[in-house]
Structure 1
Amino acid sequence: MGINPMLTGTDLLTKVKDLGDVSKSDLVRSCGYVSDKKDGGERLNFTAFYEALLEAKGINFSTGGPAIGKGGRKLSYTAKVQGNGNLLIGKAYTAMLNLEAGDEFEIKLGKKAIRLIPTGAAAEHSEGAEAVDE
Protein backbone atom coordinates (compact mmCIF):
# COMPACT_ATOMS: atom_id res chain seq x y z
CA MET A 1 0.00 0.00 0.00
CA GLY A 2 1.44 3.41 -1.01
CA ILE A 3 1.60 6.08 1.65
CA ASN A 4 0.01 9.38 0.63
CA PRO A 5 1.54 12.61 1.93
CA MET A 6 -0.61 14.58 4.39
CA LEU A 7 -2.45 17.07 2.22
CA THR A 8 -3.04 20.61 3.44
CA GLY A 9 -4.51 23.85 2.13
CA THR A 10 -6.02 23.95 -1.34
CA ASP A 11 -4.66 20.47 -2.14
CA LEU A 12 -6.68 19.06 0.76
CA LEU A 13 -9.85 20.92 -0.23
CA THR A 14 -9.50 19.77 -3.85
CA LYS A 15 -8.99 16.12 -2.82
CA VAL A 16 -12.02 16.18 -0.50
CA LYS A 17 -14.16 17.67 -3.28
CA ASP A 18 -12.86 15.14 -5.85
CA LEU A 19 -13.55 12.15 -3.59
CA GLY A 20 -17.14 13.21 -3.09
CA ASP A 21 -19.35 10.82 -1.12
CA VAL A 22 -16.93 8.31 0.42
CA SER A 23 -16.69 7.06 3.99
CA LYS A 24 -14.92 9.26 6.53
CA SER A 25 -12.25 6.59 7.01
CA ASP A 26 -11.53 6.44 3.27
CA LEU A 27 -11.44 10.23 3.10
CA VAL A 28 -8.92 10.50 5.95
CA ARG A 29 -6.83 7.66 4.51
CA SER A 30 -6.83 9.13 0.96
CA CYS A 31 -5.69 12.52 2.24
CA GLY A 32 -2.68 10.93 3.99
CA TYR A 33 -3.71 11.22 7.62
CA VAL A 34 -2.59 7.71 8.54
CA SER A 35 0.16 6.49 10.85
CA ASP A 36 1.46 2.99 11.55
CA LYS A 37 0.78 1.25 14.86
CA LYS A 38 3.41 -0.87 16.61
CA ASP A 39 1.47 -4.02 15.73
CA GLY A 40 1.65 -3.19 12.00
CA GLY A 41 -1.91 -1.90 11.68
CA GLU A 42 -2.84 1.62 10.69
CA ARG A 43 -4.21 4.45 12.78
CA LEU A 44 -6.40 7.06 11.11
CA ASN A 45 -5.61 10.55 12.42
CA PHE A 46 -9.10 12.07 12.31
CA THR A 47 -8.25 15.00 14.59
CA ALA A 48 -5.27 16.13 12.51
CA PHE A 49 -7.36 15.73 9.35
CA TYR A 50 -10.24 17.85 10.65
CA GLU A 51 -7.88 20.54 11.99
CA ALA A 52 -6.11 20.72 8.61
CA LEU A 53 -9.48 20.87 6.85
CA LEU A 54 -10.67 23.74 9.05
CA GLU A 55 -7.40 25.62 8.55
CA ALA A 56 -7.70 25.12 4.79
CA LYS A 57 -11.15 26.71 5.01
CA GLY A 58 -9.69 29.71 6.86
CA ILE A 59 -10.34 28.76 10.48
CA ASN A 60 -7.01 28.96 12.29
CA PHE A 61 -6.21 26.70 15.26
CA SER A 62 -2.92 28.39 16.06
CA THR A 63 -1.47 27.13 19.32
CA GLY A 64 1.77 29.09 19.18
CA GLY A 65 0.56 32.13 21.12
CA PRO A 66 0.03 32.38 24.84
CA ALA A 67 -3.31 31.12 26.03
CA ILE A 68 -5.27 33.77 27.85
CA GLY A 69 -7.76 32.40 30.31
CA LYS A 70 -10.09 29.51 29.68
CA GLY A 71 -11.65 29.30 26.26
CA GLY A 72 -14.86 31.25 26.01
CA ARG A 73 -14.69 32.85 29.45
CA LYS A 74 -14.75 36.61 29.74
CA LEU A 75 -12.38 38.43 32.08
CA SER A 76 -14.16 40.01 35.03
CA TYR A 77 -11.51 42.68 35.76
CA THR A 78 -12.07 42.12 39.48
CA ALA A 79 -9.94 40.40 42.12
CA LYS A 80 -10.71 39.18 45.63
CA VAL A 81 -8.44 39.14 48.65
CA GLN A 82 -7.74 35.52 49.53
CA GLY A 83 -8.06 34.03 53.02
CA ASN A 84 -4.31 34.43 53.61
CA GLY A 85 -4.44 38.14 52.70
CA ASN A 86 -2.91 37.77 49.24
CA LEU A 87 -4.37 39.56 46.24
CA LEU A 88 -4.05 37.35 43.18
CA ILE A 89 -3.97 38.66 39.62
CA GLY A 90 -4.47 35.89 37.08
CA LYS A 91 -2.31 34.79 34.16
CA ALA A 92 -4.77 36.21 31.65
CA TYR A 93 -4.06 39.74 32.86
CA THR A 94 -0.28 39.35 33.03
CA ALA A 95 -0.28 37.83 29.53
CA MET A 96 -2.16 40.87 28.20
CA LEU A 97 0.73 43.02 29.44
CA ASN A 98 3.45 40.65 28.19
CA LEU A 99 4.76 40.22 31.74
CA GLU A 100 7.25 37.52 32.64
CA ALA A 101 8.23 35.79 35.87
CA GLY A 102 10.42 38.07 37.97
CA ASP A 103 9.05 41.38 36.64
CA GLU A 104 8.88 43.98 39.41
CA PHE A 105 6.35 46.67 40.24
CA GLU A 106 6.16 49.69 42.50
CA ILE A 107 3.00 49.51 44.62
CA LYS A 108 1.13 52.81 44.97
CA LEU A 109 -1.72 52.94 47.46
CA GLY A 110 -4.46 55.47 46.83
CA LYS A 111 -7.88 56.12 48.25
CA LYS A 112 -9.52 52.67 47.86
CA ALA A 113 -7.10 51.84 45.02
CA ILE A 114 -3.93 49.87 44.48
CA ARG A 115 -1.81 50.74 41.45
CA LEU A 116 1.05 48.61 40.18
CA ILE A 117 3.65 50.66 38.32
CA PRO A 118 6.09 48.57 36.24
CA THR A 119 9.78 49.11 36.99
CA GLY A 120 12.84 47.89 35.07
CA ALA A 121 12.17 44.93 32.77
CA ALA A 122 8.43 44.97 33.49
CA ALA A 123 8.19 48.50 32.11
CA GLU A 124 9.90 47.37 28.89
CA HIS A 125 7.69 44.26 28.52
CA SER A 126 4.44 46.13 29.01
CA GLU A 127 5.28 48.98 26.60
CA GLY A 128 3.99 47.04 23.59
CA ALA A 129 0.87 45.80 25.35
CA GLU A 130 -2.56 47.15 24.58
CA ALA A 131 -3.80 49.86 26.90
CA VAL A 132 -6.71 48.83 29.08
CA ASP A 133 -9.26 51.45 30.07
CA GLU A 134 -10.21 51.58 33.73
Structure 2
Amino acid sequence: MLTGVDLLAKVKELGDVSKTDLVRACGYVSHKKDGSERLNFTAFYEALLNAKGVDFGGAAKTGKGGRKLSFNTKVQFNGNLMVGKAYTGMLDLKPGDEFEIKLGRKQIRLVPLGAEDEEE
Protein backbone atom coordinates (compact mmCIF):
# COMPACT_ATOMS: atom_id res chain seq x y z
CA MET A 1 0.00 0.00 0.00
CA LEU A 2 1.38 3.35 -0.98
CA THR A 3 1.49 6.16 1.56
CA GLY A 4 2.78 9.71 1.84
CA VAL A 5 4.50 11.29 -1.14
CA ASP A 6 4.49 7.98 -3.03
CA LEU A 7 0.70 7.85 -2.78
CA LEU A 8 0.31 11.45 -3.91
CA ALA A 9 2.66 10.88 -6.86
CA LYS A 10 0.76 7.75 -7.96
CA VAL A 11 -2.61 9.53 -7.77
CA LYS A 12 -1.22 12.39 -9.85
CA GLU A 13 0.37 9.96 -12.32
CA LEU A 14 -2.87 8.01 -12.87
CA GLY A 15 -4.89 11.17 -13.44
CA ASP A 16 -8.43 10.53 -14.65
CA VAL A 17 -8.93 6.83 -13.87
CA SER A 18 -11.92 5.45 -11.99
CA LYS A 19 -11.88 5.43 -8.19
CA THR A 20 -11.85 1.63 -8.24
CA ASP A 21 -8.78 1.53 -10.48
CA LEU A 22 -7.09 4.20 -8.38
CA VAL A 23 -7.59 2.30 -5.10
CA ARG A 24 -6.43 -0.95 -6.72
CA ALA A 25 -3.33 0.64 -8.32
CA CYS A 26 -2.27 2.16 -4.99
CA GLY A 27 -2.42 -1.26 -3.31
CA TYR A 28 -5.48 -0.86 -1.08
CA VAL A 29 -6.78 -4.33 -1.89
CA SER A 30 -7.32 -7.38 0.28
CA HIS A 31 -8.67 -10.80 -0.56
CA LYS A 32 -11.65 -12.48 1.05
CA LYS A 33 -11.60 -16.13 2.11
CA ASP A 34 -13.47 -17.06 -1.07
CA GLY A 35 -10.66 -15.51 -3.13
CA SER A 36 -12.61 -12.47 -4.28
CA GLU A 37 -11.14 -9.01 -4.06
CA ARG A 38 -12.08 -6.34 -1.52
CA LEU A 39 -11.12 -2.73 -2.20
CA ASN A 40 -10.29 -0.78 0.96
CA PHE A 41 -11.63 2.66 0.04
CA THR A 42 -11.67 3.96 3.63
CA ALA A 43 -8.02 3.10 4.25
CA PHE A 44 -7.12 4.65 0.89
CA TYR A 45 -8.91 7.93 1.62
CA GLU A 46 -7.47 8.11 5.14
CA ALA A 47 -3.95 7.59 3.76
CA LEU A 48 -4.60 10.20 1.07
CA LEU A 49 -5.78 12.77 3.62
CA ASN A 50 -2.84 11.91 5.86
CA ALA A 51 -0.44 12.38 2.93
CA LYS A 52 -1.95 15.82 2.32
CA GLY A 53 -1.30 16.78 5.94
CA VAL A 54 -4.76 16.31 7.41
CA ASP A 55 -4.29 15.07 10.98
CA PHE A 56 -7.03 12.98 12.55
CA GLY A 57 -5.97 14.15 16.01
CA GLY A 58 -4.55 10.78 17.04
CA ALA A 59 -8.04 9.44 17.77
CA ALA A 60 -8.23 5.76 18.59
CA LYS A 61 -8.76 3.68 15.49
CA THR A 62 -11.62 1.27 15.23
CA GLY A 63 -11.33 -2.45 14.97
CA LYS A 64 -13.70 -4.90 13.36
CA GLY A 65 -17.32 -3.99 13.96
CA GLY A 66 -16.53 -0.35 14.57
CA ARG A 67 -15.42 -0.75 18.18
CA LYS A 68 -12.90 1.79 19.42
CA LEU A 69 -9.55 0.41 20.46
CA SER A 70 -9.03 0.96 24.16
CA PHE A 71 -5.27 0.33 24.30
CA ASN A 72 -5.93 -1.62 27.52
CA THR A 73 -5.80 -5.36 28.06
CA LYS A 74 -5.84 -7.75 30.98
CA VAL A 75 -4.23 -11.02 31.91
CA GLN A 76 -6.56 -13.85 30.94
CA PHE A 77 -7.63 -16.71 33.24
CA ASN A 78 -4.84 -18.92 31.85
CA GLY A 79 -2.12 -16.30 32.42
CA ASN A 80 -1.85 -15.21 28.79
CA LEU A 81 -1.75 -11.58 27.79
CA MET A 82 -3.64 -10.90 24.55
CA VAL A 83 -2.66 -8.35 21.92
CA GLY A 84 -5.38 -8.29 19.29
CA LYS A 85 -5.22 -8.25 15.51
CA ALA A 86 -6.19 -4.58 15.29
CA TYR A 87 -3.07 -3.61 17.25
CA THR A 88 -0.69 -5.85 15.32
CA GLY A 89 -2.24 -4.51 12.11
CA MET A 90 -1.50 -0.93 13.17
CA LEU A 91 2.16 -1.91 13.47
CA ASP A 92 2.09 -3.93 10.23
CA LEU A 93 3.16 -7.09 12.06
CA LYS A 94 2.93 -10.34 10.13
CA PRO A 95 2.58 -13.97 11.23
CA GLY A 96 6.02 -15.29 12.05
CA ASP A 97 7.48 -11.95 13.19
CA GLU A 98 9.66 -12.66 16.24
CA PHE A 99 10.28 -10.57 19.33
CA GLU A 100 12.46 -10.66 22.40
CA ILE A 101 10.48 -10.15 25.61
CA LYS A 102 12.16 -7.60 27.88
CA LEU A 103 10.91 -7.41 31.45
CA GLY A 104 11.23 -4.19 33.38
CA ARG A 105 9.78 -2.85 36.56
CA LYS A 106 6.06 -3.60 36.11
CA GLN A 107 6.40 -3.44 32.32
CA ILE A 108 6.85 -5.74 29.36
CA ARG A 109 8.54 -4.60 26.15
CA LEU A 110 8.54 -6.50 22.89
CA VAL A 111 11.66 -5.82 20.85
CA PRO A 112 11.82 -7.17 17.28
CA LEU A 113 14.63 -9.71 16.96
CA GLY A 114 17.64 -8.09 15.33
CA ALA A 115 16.59 -4.56 16.31
CA GLU A 116 18.51 -2.47 18.81
CA ASP A 117 16.69 -1.77 22.06
CA GLU A 118 16.51 2.02 22.41
CA GLU A 119 16.27 2.02 26.22
CA GLU A 120 19.29 -0.10 27.23
TM-score by length of 2: 0.48
TM-score by length of 1: 0.43
**Which one has the largest radius of gyration?**
1
